């Protein structure tokens, strides 16, 4: 039995979490696995109910979970609140509290959407890599930090254990994929990057079957748009990863398609990359595919249910191949559907793929 905490949040977060839950329930039914769900407030909806964006109760529920699924937080209504009460503050606090030191963002081409990218088809076809971004250290957290009228100061610092744990994660994940890690730094200029590089190479001694290369971050940014097929797992620090994961995400198309996972040693959180999209919230228009693909990541990374994960992804591809689109990814001749309809179609395809492969196994 696995316990999953659902944190729908605000705006379309609520709608896409419904979609995600329907897919999780379908997995439970088909794969005969017991899933227990518990829903909690976070972000603006939590502020409205309790006067704070992340309550102790919600955090405690996450501490007792096998996985957390989050929709999205934020909205116009809460924009003028002080920083620590804003919906987004809940996210940072939650990631830190759960020790989620690795953020994983896949960059994978959905063939039926290849024309909606700004890159050429030949460059994109077959692209399939992950960006592993260190999430709880580096310049976003380093001390001292300050500014006045004459200067601004932040500190980029990494400690050995912080680099070691994410390097182990990268090599382990690469072993399950195409066995290659590209570590991205700025070791020609920054001491902290030279240190990062040294530690990554030390850890690599335990994974010599995995290919390791290093790239400077400026070159990595160019290579992602020039020849993205060369990558399998990109391993990098918090700041560089923030930028590179956005570049990597966008070469593959729309914001409504991008899933993510944040992992620590004990806890895991899965969420679509997009925000709460207040402009379309409550209209049954949101693209649920990023949320559904995040569910696939949950079954892959948290529950070792790789078959379920790959069938969910195949169901997404089949749905797109059949021409179904939400408004954000519409193209000529497509069939525009609502959030709920898109979810239903993915689930129908998922069930069909599951049964087809079961029949395939039976007749072998
Ligand atoms: P956003 O991602 O919410 O929306 C950007 C644009 O993309 C909007 O036009 C929106 O309609 C569209 N869009 C996003 N996801 C979509 C989907 N699934 N289907 C269809 N269209 C989609 O970013 P924003 O407008 O900059 O931020 C809105 C709020 O969300 C802000 O309060 C922001 O702080 C918050 N936010 C939260 C998260 C999070 O919870 N992880 C991430 C980013 C932004």
DSSP per-residue letters across 43-85: THHHHHHHSSSS-HHHHHHHHT-SEEEEEE---GGGTTS-GGG
pLDDT recorded at residue 104: 97
pLDDT at 74 over 60: yes
Enumerate domains of the chain plus CATH numbers.
Answer: 1-108+254-364 (3.40.718.10), 118-251 (3.40.718.10)
- Rounded to an integer, what is the distance from CA 104 to the centroid of its chain? 5
Q: What order of strands is seen across the sheet that includes strand 259-263?
A: 35-39, 2-9, 67-72, 268-272, 259-263, 102-108, 128-134, 233-236, 180-185, 211-216
| Cα(270) to centroid(ligand 1), Å | 16
Q: Whose CA is nearest to atom 11 of ligand 1?
A: 277
pLDDT recorded at residue 258: 92
**If you average pLDDT over residues 325-342, what whole number do you get?**
94
pLDDT recorded at residue 360: 65
Of 274, 289, 292, the residue with max ligand 1 atoms within 8 A of its CB, to mutate for a pocket test, comes to 274
pLDDT recorded at residue 271: 97
Q: Distance (Å, rounded) from C-alpha 120 to C-alpha 132?
A: 25
Residue with tokens 């693209």: 287
SS3 364: coil
**279 catalytic, yes or no?**
no
SS3 42: coil
- pLDDT, averaged across the chain: 95
- 311 close to ligand 1 (CB < 6 Angstrom): no
pLDDT at 179 over 90: yes
**If you average pLDDT over residues 132-157, what whole number do you get?**
95
Q: What DSSP designation does 23 have? A: H
Half-sphere exposure of 136 (CA within 13 A, CB side): 21
pLDDT recorded at residue 331: 86
Q: What DSSP designation does 277 have? A: -
pLDDT band at 93 (very low <50, low <70, confident <90, very high): very high
How far from 340 is each of 28, 40, 71, 232, CA to CA, in Å?
Answer: 20, 22, 15, 33
pLDDT recorded at residue 88: 93
Instruction: For residue range 201-215, list pLDDT tens digits in order.
Output: 999 999 999 999 999
**If you average pLDDT over residues 226-249, what whole number do you get?**
95
| Cα(338) to centroid(ligand 1), Å | 17
Atom of ligand 1 nearest to the CA of 277: 3
pLDDT recorded at residue 361: 60
What is the value of pTM for the model shown?
Answer: 0.93
| Cα(159) to centroid(ligand 1), Å | 33
């Amino acid at each position: 039995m696995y316990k999953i905490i659902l944190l729908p949040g605000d705006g379309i977060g609520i709608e896409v979490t419904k979609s995600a839950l329907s897919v999780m329930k379908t997995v439970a039914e088909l794969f005969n696995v017991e899933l227990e769900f518990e829903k909690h407030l976070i972000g603006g909806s939590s502020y409205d109910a309790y006067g704070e964006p992340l309550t102790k109760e919600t955090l405690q529920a996450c501490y007792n979970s096998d996985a957390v699924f989050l929709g999205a937080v934020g909205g116009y209504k809460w924009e003028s609140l002080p920083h620590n009460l804003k919906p987004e503050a809940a996210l940072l606090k939650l990631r830190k509290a759960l020790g989620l030191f690795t953020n994983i963002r896949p960059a994978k081409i959905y063939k039926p959407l290849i024309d909606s990218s700004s890159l050429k088809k030949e460059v994109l076809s077959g692209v399939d890599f992950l960006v592993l971004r260190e999430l709880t250290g580096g310049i976003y957290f380093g001390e001292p930090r300050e500014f006045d009228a004459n200067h601004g100061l932040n500190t980029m610092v990494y400690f050995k254990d912080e680099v070691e744990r994410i390097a182990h994660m990268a090599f382990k994940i690469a072993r399950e994929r195409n066995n290659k890690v590209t570590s991205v730094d700025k070791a020609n200029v920054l001491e902290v990057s030279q240190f990062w590089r040294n530690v990554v190479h030390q850890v690599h001694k335990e994974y010599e079957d995995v290919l390791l290369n290093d790239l400077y971050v400026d070159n990595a940014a160019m290579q992602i748009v020039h020849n993205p097929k060369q990558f399998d797992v990109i391993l990098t620090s918090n700041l560089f990863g923030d930028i590179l994961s956005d570049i990597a995400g966008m070469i593959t198309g729309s914001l409504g398609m991008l899933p993510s996972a944040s992992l620590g040693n004990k806890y895991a959180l899965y969420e679509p990359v997009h925000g709460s999209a207040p402009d379309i919230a409550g209209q049954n228009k949101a693209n649920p595919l990023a949320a559904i693909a995040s569910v696939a990541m949950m079954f892959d990374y948290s529950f070792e249910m790789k078959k379920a994960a790959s069938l969910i992804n195949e169901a997404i591809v089949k749905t797109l191949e059949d021409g179904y689109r939400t408004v954000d990814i519409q193209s000529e001749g497509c069939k525009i559907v609502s959030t709920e309809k898109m979810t239903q179609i993915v689930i129908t395809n998922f069930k069909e793929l599951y049964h087809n492969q079961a029949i395939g196994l039976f007749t072998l």
